[in-house]
Structure 1
């Protein structure tokens, strides 16, 4: 019987919640107020940055081999988002230093986090471009302007709200953001997004290519070809990487391999260990022993 496309489910789709529930992104406020002169932000493993410039101007500098322009001028209120470790330097006018709030970002799973891997190295975006951002920023700056009970905790959570709003914008405008093949491009595709969201929400299901294609409302052959073209890997390879990302996060939290294997759809602890060694070159125990 020939492959036949399956009508897609018309229900509204939440493309981010399942992903972020499994791979949390934690923000930590570390600066509020003007930045004058030279401010350096080093690259540290597993760490990103989200800067919000409310007023002023700055010259942004990167190293010669960073893959980004050596110098960029920012002259309007903007978001500057670095999802992966990348050193950068702000040069601010000393007379009228730009007004900033800045947060460090910790992507759950570190370098293996599929969201961090899929994003451009820098997203530089005027604040006015992101719909609904003004109210969140008003609350964020209000919390940083005077000390109150729970200020740091609330500011961190508000930064995470700003990040989710930014991710929404990226999903709706992938071409403008310079998104390359990968997860963001897949989630921006209406049909592939349904399959990806299902994988993120239920990673332990016995997923077959047919089952994924049904979620996408596509034939098996069309789905496989489209998935590879948009995400740069096969559906089976993406699912394996997603499960291993979750396994790494669970190992860091101290959970036993047998329990992790059961939740992620492996036949047992030995099956997970074999897959772990094939993809990462180490057993779960060896890998965990090298983590700080």
Structure 2
């Protein structure tokens, strides 16, 4: 008579497969659309300061100590915000804003302007709200970069200004990384950053960003995302606010704008981005901007 337990075997759970490789969602975008920071203030600010809306100029302010009332004139009208803890303030595009600090013992700041390649047409800028305020302790890993930023901005040593500018860019990348992981807290609802926050869509977007010159059918995009075409199209529209085909064309034209600003010819941009020829790119560019590439470039340099 066999034992009920003697012949039993313990079935071990199958070993978990390797975790899917993480993908770098930001580098392909930032390689195409660079950001340059420029320190313009470090130290106390007392009383009232006003920052004008200048086309193409963004701001990053770091409130290190003190209290502050921010008045922001944005798309949602006049907004007021009182801050009493160390906070990072990001204005990603031209926006008039004002600071009201204590009149004598002012609050302590480190501030920079940001030049996003492409200005308001930069796809990152387009996907961010007018104004983001993040307590410094919200962003994991930010403290070491800020400590070095503050140390360099407070002293006048060889290379300090250049190093401070680069550190502001490091801080911005960390903020963008946080936004992708916390879109709701950053009040991001649609656009590039929202698309990158979806792990499925991000795989397709990263591939598209790296190789816009290739053929990108809906089936190919959906396959990279591991989704059916209908599910992918619906999720893509919900996250980015546009269709995959429209997004691809807009990305190509945004990259073309960046290339033209850097001195590339229309013919070379068309070749590199997979357009049939220069006239095809020019027609698409005119439909999007209302002007030809040459007219658009003339306006850019005239306003510089």
Structure 1 match to 2:6? none
CA distance in 2, matches of 1:275, 1:71: 41
Structure 1 match to 2:12? none
CA distance in 2, matches of 1:20, 1:225: 27
SS at match of 1:176: coil
Task: Report the Cα offset of residue 278 of structure 1.
Answer: 2.0
RMSD over aligned CA atoms reads 1.3
SS at match of 2:208: helix
Q: Are 2:66 and 2:106, in contact at CA under 8 Å, matched by a contact in 1? A: yes
CA distance in 2, matches of 1:66, 1:175: 19
Q: Which has the higher contact order (CA 8 A, sep 6+)?
A: 1
Identify if the C-alpha distance between structure 1 residues 54 and 46 changes in structure 2 by more than 3 Å, giving closer, same or farther.
same
Structure 1 match to 2:85? 76
Asked if 1:86 is matched to 2:68, the reply is no
1:279 aligns with one of 288, 293, 296: 288
Task: Report the Cα offset of residue 208 of structure 1.
Answer: 1.3
- Count residues in correspondence: 283
Structure 1 match to 2:214? 205
Structure 1 match to 2:157? 148
Q: Rg bigger for which structure?
A: 2
SS at match of 2:144: helix
SS at match of 1:174: coil
Structure 1 match to 2:9? none
Q: Are 2:67 and 2:101, in contact at CA under 8 Å, matched by a contact in 1? A: yes
CA distance in 2, matches of 1:212, 1:280: 26
Structure 2 match to 1:260? 269
Structure 2 match to 1:31? 41
Runs of 4+ with deviation above 4 angstroms: none
Show structure 2 runs of 5+ residues with no match: 1-18
TM-score (norm 1): 0.94
Q: Are 1:66 and 1:86, in contact at CA under 8 Å, matched by a contact in 2? A: no
Asked if 1:247 is matched to 2:252, the reply is no
Structure 2 match to 1:20? 30
Comparing 223-232 and 67-76, the one that deviates more: 67-76
Asked if 1:238 is matched to 2:242, the reply is no
TM-score (norm 2): 0.90
SS at match of 1:44: coil
Structure 1 match to 2:55? 45
